[in-house]
Amino acid sequence: MKGSRVKIRLLLWTLPDKCGRMSLFKTMEAGTGPDRSFCGVKKNTFGDYLIIGEIAIIGLAEISHLTGVFLKRSFADCAMLLAILLCALLITGVGFLAVRWKDIFAESAGEPRVSGTEKLLYAMFALIVISQLIFIGMGNAIYRKGDMTVETVESFLTCDRIYQVNPMTGMPYTEGMPSRLKILCLPTLYGSLCKWTGLPPALVVQKIVPMAVLLGSYLSFSLLGRTLFAEDGRKRACFLLLVSLLLWVGSYRYGIEGFDLLCCGWRGVAVRGGVLLPWLVSLCLRRKWFGILLCAAAEGCIVWTLYGCGVCLAVAAGMTAARIICRRIPGMADRGMTARAGEKGDVK
């Protein structure tokens, strides 16, 4: 009993760390042997799977949203469809984890013990995260300028139709709305949450969703930390602590990551900046291209990129260009990068 308690406590201390675990140490090296899956792509960590799950939720919400928009189905039908799809996703996810349990968690067993300093840093990090969750829960700094998500969700629930009335007035549209905007799925996702739970849209959109997005953001940053400091748990803990402090510090102005996450975390741009982009940077450093495509697709479903390609693809292109330049210019390449490139035979 005592032993299991100690194990649970250790698991809690190292949770942000374990999320990025699986086989990153190996994937940072040459991609050979057991590190490569059947299609030649390097293995994902458990944290990666969690974020892929989040993106899958966005994808399923998009499907049910488009069903409502183009097939003119009622909002109740869309919420039901989303519930069925999410159940299927949950079953698939649990099945996948059950089958690949050993693969995913194999290395956790041989993990070095968490040092006292790390525990202290994680404790401070946890306190800051809790304070941020309380801040969001209090709802004293909600920023809704230029945003009508709550009104949109209210109009979906009231009319039981998607975009049949102008959310600003509740009157039918006279001229319509931009089609690129019409296909964004977050209002349907939030509306479905309201439908299932019976909670008011303002509570779900302005408090519950931003809390979930904030936690998702820390998951992304923890994966990035694991990529940047694969060998040093103390630095990873310090990195996460500094990220949490920087989010507090950056809560002074619209457009800064901290502000977006703490004051308007339900918006697509907050999900992009807090969850997708840190993960994308980590994927770029690990050269996991499929995940990058997933990020770009998710951005297209939640952010009004107008008719442009969005930020995720631009960042991925920039990171790839920087990587190529670093590889070409003597003295710019990391030791690890040169070794990997050398193995592939593209750098002499």
Partner 1 sequence: MTELLQNASLRWVGYKGSGKIVALLLAVLLFWWFAEKEKKQRALLLYTTAAAACCIVPVTAALLMLYQTKFYDYEWIWSMVPVTAVTAYGLTLFLAGHWKEAQGNWRRGLPVTLLLLMAMLFCGDLGGDMEARAETNAEKDEAYEVVGMLSERWSREDICLLAPQRILEYAREADGRLRLAYGRNMWDPWLNAYAYDTYDGKAEDLCQWMAWAEQASWIWMPEADKEEMLDTLEKQVETAVEMGVNCLLLPAGIPSDMSERIEKAMGAEVQTLGDYVAFTLF
Two tokens at 186?
Answer: 């977050």
The interface region with partner 1, picked from 34-42, 91-99, 106-114, 322-330 by CB under 8 A, is: 322-330
337 binds partner 1 (CB under 8 A): yes
The interface region with partner 1, picked from 54-62, 79-87, 246-254, 290-298 by CB under 8 A, is: 246-254
Pick 104 or 298: Cβ nearer partner 1: 298
- Quote the CA–CA distance of 287 and 346 in Å, as a whole number: 15
DSSP H helices, the chain, are: 2-13, 15-19, 24-28, 46-70, 75-99, 101-105, 116-138, 149-159, 179-182, 186-197, 201-203, 209-228, 233-249, 257-263, 268-271, 277-286, 289-302, 310-328, 335-344
29 binds partner 1 (CB under 8 A): no
Pick 105 or 248: Cβ nearer partner 1: 248
Residues 295-314 that bind partner 1 (CB under 8 A): 304-308, 311, 314
The interface region with partner 1, picked from 20-28, 74-82, 87-95, 326-334 by CB under 8 A, is: 326-334
Q: Which of 277, 292, 295, 296 binds partner 1 (CB under 8 A)?
A: 277
332 binds partner 1 (CB under 8 A): yes
Residues 157-176 that bind partner 1 (CB under 8 A): 157-158, 166-171, 173-176
Q: What are φ and ψ of residue 172, in 5° steps?
A: -60, 150
Contact (CB, 8 A) for 268 and 302: yes
The interface region with partner 1, picked from 12-20, 94-102, 225-233, 339-347 by CB under 8 A, is: 225-233
> Among residues 225, 260, 269, 39, which one has the least CA distance to residue 121?
225
Pick 89 or 183: Cβ nearer partner 1: 183
Pick 198 or 255: Cβ nearer partner 1: 255
- Quote the CA–CA distance of 269 and 288 in Å, as a whole number: 23
Residues 185-224 that bind partner 1 (CB under 8 A): 201-202, 221, 224
Minimum CB separation of residue 1 from partner 1 in Å reads: 36
Residues 67-106 that bind partner 1 (CB under 8 A): none
Classified as helix, coil or strand, 294 is helix
DSSP lists the bridge partners of residue 36 as 42
Burial class (CB in 10 A: 0-12, 13-18, 19+), 9: exposed
Half-sphere exposure of 298 (CA within 13 A, CB side): 26
Place of tokens 């049949």: 164
The residue type of 339 is A
Angle at 283 between CA 280 and CA 289, to 5 degrees: 100
Q: Which of 229, 293, 297, 341 binds partner 1 (CB under 8 A)?
A: 229
289 binds partner 1 (CB under 8 A): no
Contact (CB, 8 A) for 260 and 88: no
Two tokens at 258?
Answer: 């901290």
Minimum CB separation of residue 116 from partner 1 in Å reads: 12
Pick 104 or 257: Cβ nearer partner 1: 257
Place of tokens 């404790």: 123
- Residues 6+ positions from 77 with CB-CB distance below 8 Å: 67, 68
Q: Which of 258, 268, 291, 300 binds partner 1 (CB under 8 A)?
A: 258
The interface region with partner 1, picked from 26-34, 49-57, 87-95, 147-155 by CB under 8 A, is: 147-155
Pick 104 or 271: Cβ nearer partner 1: 271
Q: Which of 196, 325, 328, 343 binds partner 1 (CB under 8 A)?
A: 325
Total residues contacting partner 1 by CB under 8 A comes to 81
Pick 3 or 146: Cβ nearer partner 1: 146
